[in-house]
A and B are shown apart, each in its own frame.
Chain A
């Protein structure tokens, strides 16, 4: 407040003097301060109050104007001799002092009528039971019409392409095989998790992730099986990705976007996705020539199993929704907030 007062008084002393009268407490009650060109007295250790902070009953009846008013025509009035008022007791004036301008806290004589320093603040309104979830899902969605268009397009892609592919995948491959496919690719994405654990400053988790990888790669036959699930400490290592790392670094979501095929993301997580792709060994196989012949069969099952799991998440968020677009957006943001908080 002092800082604000100083800035205002320096930049516009006249305005300061005109708009806000300053008081100090003396044995005679609240007395207006004689401002010198809108400035507080130099080298003063007194505590000053804006007029609004002084109880009405404590103010002088005839408030004299400060000596240094910008209007030259104004007749100078006699210097502050306010009408003595009965000394208000702190009990009778429980006014908060939000606008006190304290020049210094050095031993100022305690004025008799000074309002109590720890005057009770008005009680905060109780949290509205109905508004408990008001702030749970918050993200900027400035391009909502575009996002809704993309959401519609993705819905068509999921309905007419992804869902039939998923159905064929589920029909051809029995559940144990699908689980094995999922496990192998999940195990192969170890670098994404371990690097991000380290970037988040969690070497303990990186250690557990490495143990999990080694165990599943050896005893789990290249990751087909997941013996790590038998050890709670390894089974419950939270996942980590680049978007989460950005969140840990204090970077906010930014705007909400719906990407083609991929679906809901925030700007932060979209950038994070690029980091995840770079860290994923499956993307290290170069394209073109002989390598492409290896790359396509290598990545296709991963794409299909991703489609399958993405559809599950999509269905969970949009089925029984009142507005599937808002439901998916809310689910995504809550899920990512939770992941970042782990």
Chain B
């Protein structure tokens, strides 16, 4: 009985320890990435310069592959390899623009990190309160380990509005109206017409 209890406590402590390490790793990864973005935003002269400067940081921080697949939804399976590649490329540009548009060069957010939570194995949510331009926003970052190794951001939820859920509604409608071609066309059009 005593041995069983010891074994159980050992298993529990190991599993909890592992979960804690996961959430802590994810949180540290996010803090580092957000810190790099803020540093770039501080020095960028204007919005286009900011967008191009944050691109390399976001490419190593965000899983654009997972984001694009989920934004398109089950229709993704009907995309050819070439169409998938194009879609990921277009969506990456769009997401980087959307994210960098939240920042005004020279204005720095004050980010307070709350406790990270493991929502499922390999999935962590980091909630933050961000004070920016005099307003307080609740921003949640969703992170995963897509390849089982490093952490990547797979969604950003600002005041309850999920970036991916929002694109999902739009791209789903496009897919239903004209399949992969309509999705790619609409992404391309959006990139061309965006400021």
Report A's interface with B, CB cutoff 8 A: 128-134, 136-137, 175, 179, 182, 235-236, 316-317, 319-323, 326-327, 329-331, 334-335, 337-339, 341
Cα(A137)–Cα(B161), bound, Å = 10
Closest partner residue, chain A, to B77 (CB atom)? A130
Cα(A321)–Cα(B174), bound, Å = 12
A167 to chain B: closest CB distance in Å? 16
User: Contact at A137–B169, with CB atoms within 8 Å?
Assistant: yes
- Which B69-106 residues have C-beta < 8 A from chain A? 69-74, 76-77, 94, 97-98, 101-102
| Dominant SS among interface residues on chain A | helix
Known contacts A130-B72, A335-B159, A338-B160; is A235 also within 8 Å of B170 by CB?
no
Report B's interface with A, CB cutoff 8 A: 69-74, 76-77, 94, 97-98, 101-102, 129, 134, 136, 159-162, 164-171, 173-174, 186-187, 189-190, 194-195
Cα(A322)–Cα(B186), bound, Å = 6
User: Contact at B101–A136, with CB atoms within 8 Å?
Assistant: no
Closest partner residue, chain A, to B134 (CB atom)? A179
User: Contact at B190–A133, with CB atoms within 8 Å?
Assistant: no
Known contacts A319-B194, A322-B170, A323-B173; is A133 also within 8 Å of B134 by CB?
no
User: Contact at B170–A134, with CB atoms within 8 Å?
Assistant: no
Cα(A134)–Cα(B189), bound, Å = 24
Known contacts A130-B74, A322-B171; is A136 also within 8 Å of B165 by CB?
yes
| Residues on the A chain within 8 Å of B167, using CB | 322, 327
| Residues on the A chain within 8 Å of B194, using CB | 319-320
Cα(A339)–Cα(B159), bound, Å = 8
User: Contact at B101–A319, with CB atoms within 8 Å?
Assistant: yes
| Residues on the A chain within 8 Å of B74, using CB | 128, 130-131, 134
A180 to chain B: closest CB distance in Å? 11
User: Contact at A132–B162, with CB atoms within 8 Å?
Assistant: no
